[in-house]
Amino acid sequence: MEQYLQESIRQALLKIGLNEDQIPGIQIEKPRDPSHGDAATNVAMQLAKPLRNNPRKIAEQLVDELDLDPERIKSTEIAGPGFINFRFAGDYIYNELAQIIEKGTEFGKSDGSIGIKALVEFVSANPTGPLTVGHGRNAVLGDTVARLLEWTGADVQREYYFNNAGRQMRLLGQSVQCRYLQELGKDAEFPEDGYEGEYITDIAKDLVQKFGDSLADEPDEKRFKEKAEAAIFEDIQQTLKRLNIEMDSFFNEQTLYDNGAIDETIKSFREKEMAYDEDGAVWFKTTKFGKDQDTVLVKSTGEPTYRLPDIAYHANKLDRGFNLCLDIFGADHIDTYPDVKNGIEVLGYDSEKVEVLVYQFVTLVKDGKPYKMSTRKANFVTLDELMDDVGEDVTRFFFLMRSPNTHLEFDVARAKEAGEKNPVFYLQYAHARIQSILRKAGSMGDFAGQPDLSVLTHQSEISLIKKLLNFPDAVALAAGHREPHRLITYLNELASGFTSFYHDCRIIGEPENLMHARMVLAKATARVLANGLTILGISAPDRM
């Protein structure tokens, strides 16, 4: 309905003489007071200043030009300084309720993102160790935003970007080599700043089991690095699978060196006089974009900074035909990604196609205290350990239930709570409870066919139906803002709405047609809860 009203208003604005550039973002909201109608817009008030006209006068003109389907909208009213309120037609809500059952698992899908070919890059942890709690929010947020985009019609590919070269990977190989030699009973000095986790010893033991002492005379860490990378990536993929995440592609940064993209990027920058040499380093003229100082692309040691391959990588994404490149980054990237977008512009690409979703970091709270983690010192909690402790569904839900813009405290004690005090169980119990009611009611008669839904006239019934019909708009809103927590808020309100309905309106023991109609309403509620949980990557159990 929101999209229908937005388009109807847009067409009416065009009729009264506005052009597309003059039309603001049209907001459709639910009035706080139900007596004011079912939907409202303040677009006339938004236009008052640019049109230099009284908002009520604008609203009157707009209402005169609105061409609304009477089977959807019963009436339109102007209120206050220029609000336009809409009341849904009675048959509309009943017809749409029936459509929820008919559409089933497809209900909630829309076409607002059709034409978007999106590459969502997330996780992107280098293969130096298992995925930890620190990677969890990135992983779950990226996957869920990808699901939201898919539900609104986008063609989405999930990609994992990694670097298996450089000092950290050398240290990984040296760490495994040292532990391997120690497992063979040989003296070996552990590298300074090496990786101390138990997983390093496990990889070393596995190498002893597979190769015996045949690797003891290896001249350097290369083979150990390769074996460790393979083992760690296998572990990472298994962890993602447990989180209900499946990547479509993996992209190795080394590809950009092998195919000449890094050299071509620097060459292009030089040709456009946006790069220069100084103190043995190569600099990017970021002062041209308002920064206080220029930025190093290649250090005096000859080693590129992160920005250079990142710029080349995003050019590669756009060359592959993606018109939305969405990156999920932690707050530590907030100062670096503008350089990448500016670099893309220098190369001649449209940087508006590159979008960055920055999230705040997670603090793991155990026994009421923050738990400080360090991957290198092996002082961390892996995602697998967290899932073992609280479960996969709870893990995903807790990473999603706050806005990405806010710091997240993952309280393990709260996550382990049983019953409806646990926010994810609250929604799952709501779904399971409805299924239990439907099983019991269904055993009491033959409820085939479609009942007369117009018998659903109680305020709690009408309110629940309208909340159900808001589901596609709730999905679209969460997708548009890249904020999955908005969908959680909607589902919580829906579960609460069902509780109010069930408190006010019995299902079992009513006349057959009313009982059947209320069963349809309950079934539709379960369907929307299940679809919403599916988008969140969380199960919707029939029994708990």
Same domain, residue pair 157 and 291: yes
- How far is the C-alpha of 204 from the C-alpha of 202, rounded, in Å? 5
Between helices 261-271 and 337-346, what is the axis angle to 10°? 70
Strand 73-79 to 295-298 pairing: unpaired
Q: Determine the distance from the C-alpha atom of residue 350 to the mean position of all C-alpha atoms in its chain, rounded to a whole number.
A: 23
Same domain, residue pair 83 and 222: no
For residue 207, pLDDT beyond 90: yes
**Beta-sheet strands, E only, within 117-230:** 117-121, 155-162
- Looking at residues 377-405, what average pLDDT do you find? 90
Read off the tokens for 173: 């190989």
Q: Please say which residue of 359, 377, 396 terminates a domain.
A: 359
Task: Identify the DSSP state of 189.
Answer: P
Total number of domains in the chain: 4
- Looking at residues 127-152, what average pLDDT do you find? 95
Residue 218: what are its φ and ψ, rounded to 5°?
A: -60, 135
307-332 pLDDT, tens digit per residue, is 999 999 999 999 999 999 999 999 98
| 216 within some domain | yes
- H-helix or E-strand spanning residue 297: strand 295-298
- Looking at residues 487-508, what average pLDDT do you find? 96
Same domain, residue pair 465 and 491: yes
Note the pLDDT of residue 469: 94
Note the pLDDT of residue 88: 87
424-468 pLDDT, tens digit per residue, is 999 999 999 999 999 998 776 666 778 899 999 999 999 999 999
- How far is the C-alpha of 100 from the C-alpha of 528, rounded, in Å? 8
Same domain, residue pair 183 and 127: no
Same domain, residue pair 122 and 155: yes
- Looking at residues 351-360, what average pLDDT do you find? 96
Q: Please say which residue of 211, 242, 273 terminates a domain.
A: 242
Same domain, residue pair 152 and 202: no
Note the pLDDT of residue 334: 86
The residue that leads in pLDDT, 504 or 18, is: 504
CB 390 within 8 A of CB 162: no
Note the pLDDT of residue 56: 92
43-80 pLDDT, tens digit per residue, is 999 988 888 889 999 999 899 889 998 888 988 999 88
State the amino acid at position 205 in one-letter form. K
| 107 within some domain | no
Same domain, residue pair 49 and 198: no
Note the pLDDT of residue 446: 64
Q: Helices H, strands E: what count in the chain?
A: 20, 14
What is the CATH classification number for the domain harbouring 45?
3.30.1360.70
Same domain, residue pair 456 and 512: yes
pTM: 0.89
- How far is the C-alpha of 435 from the C-alpha of 119, rounded, in Å? 37
pLDDT above 90 covers a percentage of the chain that reads: 73
Same domain, residue pair 528 and 426: yes
- Looking at residues 323-349, what average pLDDT do you find? 94
Low-confidence winner among 9-23, 108-122, 313-327, 477-491 (lowest mean pLDDT): 9-23
| 278 within some domain | yes
- Looking at residues 116-127, what average pLDDT do you find? 96
Same domain, residue pair 262 and 136: yes
| 40 within some domain | yes
Same domain, residue pair 180 and 327: no
Same domain, residue pair 346 and 487: no
Q: Please say which residue of 218, 242, 266 terminates a domain.
A: 242
Residue 202: what are its φ and ψ, rounded to 5°?
A: -60, -40
| 367 within some domain | no
CB 464 within 8 A of CB 521: yes
Q: Which residues pair with 83 in a beta bridge?
A: 79
Provide the residue range defining the domain that includes 196: 167-242
Note the pLDDT of residue 383: 95
Note the pLDDT of residue 380: 78
CB 201 within 8 A of CB 209: no
264-278 pLDDT, tens digit per residue, is 999 999 999 999 999
| 385 within some domain | no
